[in-house]
Structure 1
């Protein structure tokens, strides 16, 4: 399931998505449970390309708690540094998606290494 969270970025605009408000984790939980019950194995919580804020930790925790280990939670958008990535993994993200940040740095390899090192620490 592809669930777009405020601010939504380019994904929200292009897809004309009805964005899930950042302060409504229960709404993200409801969509995630519906997806799980429909047989989906992945939940993608997307703040959007170039988002100024990542998906809130509380929302990730709430979604992961109800979908369990068998359903993978993917989180993307607004993740610009290792600490932000690590916080999302600790909250329950099984996978992190970065895009804009590696497009904007000169040393892509170092940025990816920073993110991976933080997540693994």
Structure 2
């Protein structure tokens, strides 16, 4: 088993909590200022964004590897063009909450030969966009509508379809900059349905929202915009993680 798979499966099996930092190459200029990251307690660094292709992508991955220390750097691709063999792993995602074939399978087909050539750990990931009806940049790029936090049956059925198709990891995302995160009830329903490592991101802009995600069943939370606006918030989330991991089950 590869490194990131072992991390995610270990969190789920041992009922531990993890934190990932999502870096958008379009929003962060000088990665060297994040030298503190190596000893921060982060579990994973994700790199990617909604922009399909960016000349800064490869450079951002290389810079992150320099400051990451032992923390794995994993690609969170906005398209099949966001690839780098300098990363440790890639979330090989299918946007199963939408019906746009480009993001269900087409980008994946185009990227597959290049991913096979690279020395990347590949994580088959079901990606579901779920929020309160907000249309954000990820929805504009993917040309899909999010599932609703209120439509629990459809969310559950969609997650089950991903499970039965053989996807091993699940990512619930409200979208970058979402005012409200994926609801606790949605997280509970999906975790119960798939019993697989569950990543949750988007709209986690306060400590209480992070706690709600953890308590509902998220194994790994992803912090992006909120950390860019307030670096101290990432430290707060890491403290919350540490508190949860002191609990003996």
Query: Above 0.5 in TM-score?
Result: yes
Whichever structure has more strand as a proportion of its residues is 2
Task: Report the alpha carbon displacement of residue 42 of structure 1 after superposing the two structures with TM.
Answer: 1.1
2:139 is aligned with 1:12:
yes
Deviation at 1:120, TM superposition (A): 3.1
Runs of 4+ in 1 over 4 A off after TM superposition: none
Comparing 75-84 with 45-54, which one deviates more in the overlay?
A: 75-84
Question: Aligned-pair distance for 1:25?
Answer: 1.6
Aligned to 2:229: 104
1:52 and 2:179 equivalent? yes
Distance in 2 between residues matched to 1:45 and 1:91, nearest whole Å:
12
What's the offset of the Cα at 1:21?
1.1
5+ residue gaps, structure 1: none
Query: 3-state DSSP class of the match of 1:31?
Result: helix
Q: Equivalents in 2 of 1:74, 1:17: separation in Å? A: 20
Alpha-carbon distance in structure 2 between the residues aligned to 1:72 and 1:9 = 25
For normalisation by structure 2, the TM-score amounts to 0.45
Aligned to 2:206: 81
RMSD of aligned Cα (Å): 1.2
Q: How many residues align?
A: 116
How many angstroms apart in 1 are the aligned matches of 2:236 and 2:164?
36
Of 235, 239, 247, the match for 1:113: 235
CA distance in 2, matches of 1:74, 1:25: 18
Distance in 2 separating the partners of 1:51 and 1:61: 20
Alignment of 1:60-79 (within 5 A): 60-68=187-195, 71-79=196-204
Provide the rounded CA distance (Å) in 2 between the counterparts of 1:113 and 1:37: 37
Task: Kindly indicate whether the alpha-carbon contact (under 8 Å) linking 1:85 and 1:96 is maintained by their aligned counterparts in 2.
Answer: yes
Residues 200 and 220, structure 2, Cα contact 8 Å, conserved in 1: yes
Question: CA deviation digits over 1:28-60, x for unaligned, max 9?
Answer: 111111111111111111100000000000010
2:219 is aligned, of 94, 106, 120, to: 94
Q: CA shift at 1:4, angstroms?
A: 0.7
